[in-house]
Structure 1
Amino acid sequence: MKTSELPIRPYARLLTMLSEQLIKNERIALLELIKNSYDADANLVRVTFDAFNDDMTARSDSRIIIEDDGHGMSPEVIRESWMNPANPQKYIRKKKGNRRTLGGKRIVQGEKGIGRFALLKLGSHITVTTRTECSSFESVLVHDFTKYDSEFTEDQIENRDIYLDEIRVLYSEISPPKTITQQHGTKIVISKVKGVWSKQVVSRLIKDLSALTDPISKIAKHETATDSFLVTVECNGSPWQIEDKNEEILKRLIEDKSVLRIQGKFDSEIGSFFLSVNEDENKYTEIKLDDSLIIGLLKNNQYLDREIIIARELECGSFEFHFYVFDFSRGISGKHELNTSEKRVLKDYRIYLYRDGVRVYPYGDPEDDWLNIDVARGTGRAGNFFSNDQLVGWIDITQEHNPKLRDKTNREGLIEEGNAVSEFFGLIQTILSYIKSHHYAQYQAKNRDRNAVDIVRSEVVSGNLATLRTDLERQGLSSGGREVARIEKLYKREKDHLIQRAEMVEDLAGVGLSVEMASHDIMLLMTRAMDIGKELSRLSRKLENDTILRLSDMLVGVLSQIADGINDIQSLFKSAKRRRKALRIEPILDKMYQLYQGLLEKRGIRYEKTVVPGSPLVADTNEGVAMQVLINLFDNASYWLDTVDNNDKKINVTVDGTNGDLVFSDNGPGIDEDDLPYIFEPFYSGKGQEGRGLGLYIARQLLERHDYQISVAKKNQSKSPGANFVVSFVKEAK
C-alpha cells in the first residue's frame, strides 16, 4: 500500500468567493471595516463616497474611502496579521484575559481575523495606507483582485489555475509620509466598486452608524459618550448627517409617553432577575427562576422549560437590560396617548443587542424578529405578548460574562451552538412575558375606563335624574318634571337592555371557559368508550357471551358518565342560570371535585374538605352559577400548585353553613401583594399564555348578580399559606 500526504491548495478565487458569500451585503461589509477602526482606538472615522451618481449608484470610477486616526499597522503587524487571514492573535489574547485594545480604552470586537474579507465585498482594487505613531514612514499595500473574481470572464480564463499561495500584494514604504500626514492612522481606498448602491442603501447605512455604539441608552439617560468614536459620511463632497433625525422625538417619547421604564439584570450565578420599574432605582425586585409566576410562564416558552432550569446551571451568563414599553391601543387618552407620527417613529426602533457597547447585527433591525415576538403573537393569543412596535430598548452582554454568546462569521446573529443562545433568548422572552402579565397588566387595570354596565348598575344616573325631576317639580316647573320623567323611562328601558346584553356576554364567556375543561374530560371518556367498543366488536366474533355482557355493561357505564358530563355543561347555559332556587352547595362542590379529581391526582395534589357542624350551606341561586365559581377556583388552584416544588400540595375547602360562606384554600405560592387590587379585574392574569384573566372576574360578576360575594380571605379567615378565597352566600344589604 502506498500512502502520502497531500497539501490543501485553495484556488485564488476562494478569497472573492468568501467575501461575496460570507458577508451578507455591502452595508455589513462597510460596518465591519468601521469596527476595525474602532478596535484600532480611532476617535474619528471618515467614510467618503467619491464619484458616485446623484442617485448614489456606482460608476466605473467610483471610490469608497475609509480614513481613521487609529494606531495604524506596523510592518510586523502587516506581515504577521494582515497578510494572514484568520490569524488567531486576537483570539489568543482574549483567551489569556487580555480583551482590551492596544491603547487600553476599549474592548476588542474582532477575533476571527477575517474582517478584511469585507474589502473584497466592496471592490476589486484596494489600496491600504497606514502609519503607526512616531513612524517616519507610511506603509502602502495595493491589492488588485480583478483577476480573481469568483466568476471568470472570457479574458480571465488563464487565471483559473492560480492558487491562493501564488497571490502577491504590492508592498512599499514611503518616507516621508504623503498620505497619512497626522501622527498615526489608516486610509483605505476601494475602487472598481462592487455591489448595488443607492440612496436607500446609504441612508440605511447612516441609520446603522447612528446605532453602532448604543444610542438609545444615551438618549434615555441623557448621557454624553465618554468614549469618543465619531463617524462622518461624505458623498461627492457633501456631508451626510449621521445623527438620527428621530432621536429627539424618541427622547421625548421615552420621557413623556412610555408606560413602563424597566431597568434590570439577570444574575446567572443565583438564577434571578432584578427589576426596577419606572426609574425607582432604589427598589429592585428579585424574581427567581423557580418563582411560581416564572415557572408558569415557562410552560409555553419555546427555548426554556422547567426541567432545564432545575437540571443544570445556565450557560448564557449574566446580562443587563433596559426596556421602554408604550401603549399602542386604540382609543386611549391621556399622557400615554400616541399619535400616528409618534407610532411611526417608534416602529423604527426595536430591542437592540450590544456587546461591550458595540451593536450585534442584525438584532434590532425593524424587520428582524430575533426574539420571535411576532411568531408568538401569531401562534398564541396576541394579547399575552407585547408587540415589537411597542417595545424599545437594549440588552448589554460582555465578552467577559457571556463568552458563549459569540457572533456568527457572517455577522448574522449569534452562533447557535450548545444551549447558551437558546437559554439567552428564552430568558428574555420570559422576563418580557412577566412584565406584560404583571406590570403592564396592572397599568391596564388602573387605566381601564369604568365599564359602562357597572355605571348603569350603580344607579347613579337614575338617582341623578330623580333628583333633577324632584327639584323641577318643587320649583313649579311641572313641564320640565314631566320631560325628565319621560327621559327616566327611556333610560330605564335602555339600561335594562344593556344589562341583559352584558349578562349574556358574561354567560357565554363563562360557558366557554367551563366547556374547555369539561370537554377535555368528556373526550377522555369518549376515547375510553371507543376502546371498549372496539374490544367488544373483536370479542363478539368469538361468541363468548359472558365477556360480551361484561364489556357491554362497562360501555353503558362509560357512556353514562359522558351523559352526566354533558348535563353538567347544560347547567352552565343561560336558561339554566336564570332559574334560582335554594341549593345546597356541598353536593355541587363534590361534583366539581369529581370533575377535577383526575387532574389533581396527576399533579400530585391532595384534596381535603371540611364541613363545619351545624346548618348546611344553602344559597338562593342556581347550579350553573355555583359550578362556574367552583370551576374557576379549582382551575386556579391546580394551575398554581403545579408551579411549586412541594411534596405535599393540598387544596382545602371549608364549608360553613352557620356563617354562610365557603373558604377555598391551597398551599401554593399565594397572591403577590402587588396583584391583590387587580385579580378580579377583567383580562388580568399571571398565567401568561394559559391565562385569559376572565375566570375570577366572571365568578365575581355572577355572584354579585345574586347579591353574593367572592373575596380574598383576611388573615383570620385563611386556612392555608397560599391563596385563600372566601365565597360568601350571605345576601348583601341594599
Structure 2
Amino acid sequence: MEKEIRFKSRARLMPQIGDQLIKNEGIALLELVKNAYDADARKVDVKMLDVDKPKIGKIIVQDNGDGMDLDIIENSWMEIGTDNKQKKLQQYIENNNRSKLGRLPMGEKGIGRFGVHKLGNIITLITRMKDKMEVLVQIDWTMFDRFDYLEQVPIKVIEREPEFFCGDEKGTFIEITELKNTWTRGKVRDIYRSINSLQSPFESIQSFYVNFETNHTNWLEGLLSIEDIKNDALFFADAEIEGNEIAKLKYEFKPWKVLDKLEEKKVERFEIEMCREEKENGKKELKSIDLGNYEIGKIRMKLMIFDLDNKILSYGVSDKKGLKEYLRSNGGIAVYRDNMRIYEYGDSGNDWLQLESKRINAPGATLSSKITIGAIYLDRKDSGELIEKTNREGFVENAAFEEFRYAIICAIEKIQALRNIDKNLLKKYYGPTSKEEPVLSSIEELKLIVDKNVDNVKLKNVIHKSLKTIEADYKNITEVYIRSSSAGLSLSVVIHEIEKIIAELKAAVGQENATNHVRDLIADLSRVTDGYASVIKSKKQSQVEVVELIEDALFNVKYRLKVHGVVILDDYIKKNKANLVKCASNLILGTIMNIVDNSIYWLEYSHIENKKMFFDISYEYDGYITIIIADNGYGFTLPTDQITKPFVTDRVGGMGLGLHLADEIMKSCAGKLIFPELGDIYLPDDFKRGAVIGLAFPVVEKNV
C-alpha cells in the first residue's frame, strides 16, 4: 500500500518556538520596539503598568508606523516561518532602495510575534494601515495547551471600521496581560537602557523616539534620557569644511556645574588650511587636502565628546552604566546626506576614520568612537562624486571619498588638540590619583597574558624582550624621578601614559590576527619610556658654551634646513662666547633639534615662501642666559600655557610629547622653557608674528 502523509504541527510548538528563539523578556520587549522601527514609526510608546504583579500587570507597545491590514495579519503575521522581513531586506539591497524613512529592517526575522508570547498569555493587537479598515486580533496563549494541533487553535480576528486609530491615524497597538514573569526594578531599568540605546541624539529623517513609562516612577530614578546624555558630554564641536580649508570651527568646553574649579570655554577659528602627512620614498611630506578637486560640496560636522573616567563620571552622571551602554551602541561618527543616514559609518566596529587605530600612538590623547557621538552632513546635489555602494553600506572608496575622509580626520585632529587642553585641566582638578605603584604589576600581568594567548614563539620572545627593557627603563625612571621631584619631573605623567598603553596591549594580545597591532603597541611603549628615560640616562651635566650648543645643533640639522629652504639668521654669533651653562648637552641638542623640526613643519604647513629662523642669546631674563629660537611663520596655534602639557598638539600625526619633554629637560637643568611676549626681547620684524621659544639656563661661573 502506498499513500502520501503530511507533517502535523502540535499546538504546543508555538510556545516552544517562542521560548527557544527569545532568550528573556527584555529581548522580547526590545523586539517589539524594533518591529515598530521597521514599520517606519517615528514614535513608540512603551508602558509597563504594575509589572511586578503578573496577574494584574500589563505591557503596552503602541507605534505610529505603517500598521497592518487583514491580508498581512493572515498571510504574514499568522504564518509561522515567514521570511517577509528577509525578503524585504534582500529587495532593498538588490534594488538599491530603503523604506520611506530610509530604514533597513532592524528586528530579527519575524520573531516579534513570538516575543509577545514570552511576555504574557493574553495578547490584544489593534492595527491599521492608512485609509484602510482596522484589524483586531486577540490571542490566548494558554489555548495552545488545550488543543492537539496548531490548526485547531481558534484565533479571534475582527476587521472593523476604525475605533482606535481614527481619521488619518495609522499604527499598531499591542497590549499584553497575564504576564508570564514578575518584573523587578532592575529588569525594568535594564530594558529602559536597551530601548534608549536605539535612539540617536541627532535629528534626521530616520529619527525614532521611544517614550517609556511605568507607574513605578521611582524605578526610573536616575536613568538618563536622550537630553540627559547630550548634557553629559563635556566637549562640543561644530565645523564647516569647504574647499581646502575648515571655513569655521567652533569648540566648546562645558563642565558640569559641580565642576566649579573649571570655567566654560568657547573657541572659534576660521579659514584653517587643511593638510595631511604622506610618506613618499620613505620621507614624510605634507600634502594639501582640497575638496574643491571633487564634487563633494560643503561638509558640516557636529561632535559631542564624553569623558568616561569613573571618578569624573561620579561628579555628574547619575547612571554611569546607562551612559556607557548608550555610547557602546551609538558611539562613532555617522554620515547623513540630505538628513538621510548613510549606513555603516558610525556603526560599532567600523573604524572608517581610524580613530581606534590612532589610539595606539596616544591612547588618552586621541578621540575614540567609544567616547564620541558625531554627525557629518552632506548635500546630495553637491556631493555627486560620493557614490553609494549598491548594497547601500557606505560610499565607493574612490579618490573623492578618500579626500572626504582626509578632510574629516583633519578637522577631528584640530578639535582633538583643543579638547586635550581642557581634558588636562579636568584631570588635574578632578581626575584619579593613584596611591599604589601600578605599572610593574601591570607589566607582570601582561607577561602572563602574552604567555597564554600568543602562539607565535618569535613574536612572544620579541614581546618579552621588549617588556624586560621597558621594565628596567621604568624602574630607572621612577627611581630618578622621585629623587628629582624638586626639579619638577612629572612621574605621574609617565605612569599614566605607560598604563594606558599597557591596557591597550592587554586587550590586543587576546585578539585574533593582532600581530601588527601588538608590534605597534610594543614599539610605542618603548618610544614613550625611551623619551622619558633619556632625561635621566644622559651623561652627567657639565659646563658648556651656549654658542657651541647652538652651532652643534644647527650642524646636525644643516641638511634638513637646506632641503626645506630655511635661512638661519645667526645673531648669537655676535654675543660673547664666554656664556657658560650647566646641562646635559646631548639633551639640549635634542631639544633644539626638535624645536627646529617643529618650525620646519609649520613653515611648510603655512606655505611660507621665504622660510627663516632666528637664533640669538638673550640676557633679558634676570639670572638667566636664554637661547632664543624664532621662525617667521604664524605663531603657535594653541595657548602657550598649555602646549608643554603631554599630548597637546595641533600637528597632523603628532604625539604632543616634544615640548613636554623639552620642558622637563629644562627643569632638570634648573632652567625653564619660556615663550617670550612681543617686546620682551629683541626680534627682527620678520619674526614678530612667528613662534618664539626661549631655553633659559641659570648663569654659572666658569670653573677655575
TM-score, reference length from structure 2: 0.53
Structure exhibiting the larger radius of gyration computed from Cα positions: 1
Matches within 5 A, 1:229-268: 229=209, 231-232=211-212, 245-247=222-224, 254=231, 260-265=234-239, 267=241
Change in 2 beyond 3 A, CA 1:386/1:176: closer
Q: Identify the match of residue 365 of structure 2 among 379, 384, 401.
A: 384
Residue 264 of structure 1: how far off its partner (Å): 1.1
Matches within 5 A, 1:478-489: none
Change in 2 beyond 3 A, CA 1:647/1:431: closer
Give the distance between the partners of 1:627 and 1:608, measured in 2 at CA: 24
Which moves more between the two structures, 621-630 or 646-655? Answer: 646-655
Change in 2 beyond 3 A, CA 1:262/1:120: same
Which moves more between the two structures, 641-650 or 622-631? Answer: 641-650
Secondary structure of 1:591's counterpart equals helix
Say if 2:663 is the partner of 1:697: yes
Secondary structure of 2:275's counterpart equals coil
Residue 697 of structure 1: how far off its partner (Å): 1.9
Give the distance between the partners of 2:350 and 2:320, measured in 1 at CA: 15
Change in 2 beyond 3 A, CA 1:30/1:613: closer
Say if 2:566 is the partner of 1:585: no
Residue 206 of structure 1: how far off its partner (Å): 1.1
Residue 187 of structure 1: how far off its partner (Å): 3.8
Secondary structure of 1:695's counterpart equals helix
Matches within 5 A, 1:179-198: 180=164, 182=166, 184-188=170-174
CA contact (8 A) 1:47 1:64 kept: yes
List gaps (5 residues or longer) in structure 1: 1-14, 101-106, 148-155, 160-166, 219-226, 300-304, 331-337, 409-413, 450-497, 512-568
Give the distance between the partners of 1:427 and 1:675, measured in 2 at CA: 24
Q: Deviations over 1:362-407 (max 9, x none)?
A: 9899x99999978866x44444246899x57554768968985999
Secondary structure of 1:245's counterpart equals coil
Give the distance between the partners of 1:323 and 1:177, measured in 2 at CA: 48
Residue 444 of structure 1: how far off its partner (Å): 4.0
The residue type equivalent to 1:716 in the other structure is P
Q: Deviations over 1:35-80 (max 9, x none)?
A: 54356575764547799886x9xx9x99976443545334577799
Change in 2 beyond 3 A, CA 1:405/1:425: farther
CA contact (8 A) 2:62 2:173 kept: yes
Give the distance between the partners of 1:268 and 1:638, measured in 2 at CA: 30
Which residue is 1:110 aligned to? 104
Q: Deviations over 1:289-338 (max 9, x none)?
A: 4279xx99xx9xxxxx98796799699994542425559597xxxxxxx5
Which residue is 2:597 aligned to? 638
Change in 2 beyond 3 A, CA 1:503/1:625: farther
Which residue is 2:484 aligned to? 501
Change in 2 beyond 3 A, CA 1:431/1:619: farther
List gaps (5 residues or longer) in structure 2: 1-13, 254-264, 430-480, 495-532, 620-624
CA contact (8 A) 2:235 2:419 kept: no
Secondary structure of 1:109's counterpart equals coil
Give the distance between the partners of 1:271 and 1:605, measured in 2 at CA: 23
CA contact (8 A) 2:245 2:273 kept: yes
Residue 441 of structure 1: how far off its partner (Å): 1.4
Which residue is 1:546 aligned to? none
In the alignment of these two chains, the number of paired residues is 549
Q: Identify the match of residue 68 of structure 1 among 50, 63, 66.
A: 63
Q: Deviations over 1:642-685 (max 9, x none)?
A: 47468999875555579997553456x64335423444567754
Q: Identify the match of residue 189 of structure 2 among 163, 181, 203.
A: 203
CA contact (8 A) 2:628 2:693 kept: yes
Q: Identify the match of residue 672 of structure 1 among 627, 636, 654.
A: 636
Q: Deviations over 1:500-526 (max 9, x none)?
A: 8346565999x9xxxxxxxxxxxxxxx
The residue type equivalent to 2:104 in the other structure is G
Change in 2 beyond 3 A, CA 1:383/1:34: closer
Give the distance between the partners of 1:422 and 1:143, measured in 2 at CA: 57
Give the distance between the partners of 1:21 and 1:273, measured in 2 at CA: 56
Change in 2 beyond 3 A, CA 1:143/1:695: same
Give the distance between the partners of 1:272 and 1:23, measured in 2 at CA: 49
CA contact (8 A) 2:289 2:406 kept: no
Secondary structure of 2:193's counterpart equals helix
Residue 632 of structure 1: how far off its partner (Å): 1.9
Change in 2 beyond 3 A, CA 1:228/1:647: closer
Residue 188 of structure 1: how far off its partner (Å): 4.9
CA contact (8 A) 1:653 1:664 kept: yes
Secondary structure of 2:85's counterpart equals coil
Residue 262 of structure 1: how far off its partner (Å): 1.4
Change in 2 beyond 3 A, CA 1:207/1:684: closer
The residue type equivalent to 1:580 in the other structure is Q
CA contact (8 A) 1:264 1:321 kept: yes
Which residue is 2:251 aligned to? 277
CA contact (8 A) 1:93 1:99 kept: no
Give the distance between the partners of 1:405 and 1:273, measured in 2 at CA: 29
Q: Identify the match of residue 723 of structure 1 among 688, 691, 695.
A: 691
Residue 209 of structure 1: how far off its partner (Å): 2.8
TM-score, reference length from structure 1: 0.51
Give the distance between the partners of 1:28 and 1:360, measured in 2 at CA: 24
Change in 2 beyond 3 A, CA 1:342/1:609: closer
Q: Deviations over 1:697-724 (max 9, x none)?
A: 2465467649x97647766354598534
The residue type equivalent to 2:543 in the other structure is R
CA contact (8 A) 1:384 1:689 kept: no
Q: Tell me the percent identity.
A: 16
Which residue is 2:36 aligned to? 37
RMSD: 7.2
Matches within 5 A, 1:392-407: 395=375
Change in 2 beyond 3 A, CA 1:19/1:287: farther
Give the distance between the partners of 1:423 and 1:619, measured in 2 at CA: 54
Give the distance between the partners of 2:70 and 2:535, measured in 1 at CA: 88
Secondary structure of 2:68's counterpart equals coil
Give the distance between the partners of 2:200 and 2:89, measured in 1 at CA: 27
Say if 2:304 is the partner of 1:323: yes
Give the distance between the partners of 1:594 and 1:195, measured in 2 at CA: 80
Change in 2 beyond 3 A, CA 1:141/1:39: same
Secondary structure of 2:172's counterpart equals strand
Residue 349 of structure 1: how far off its partner (Å): 1.7
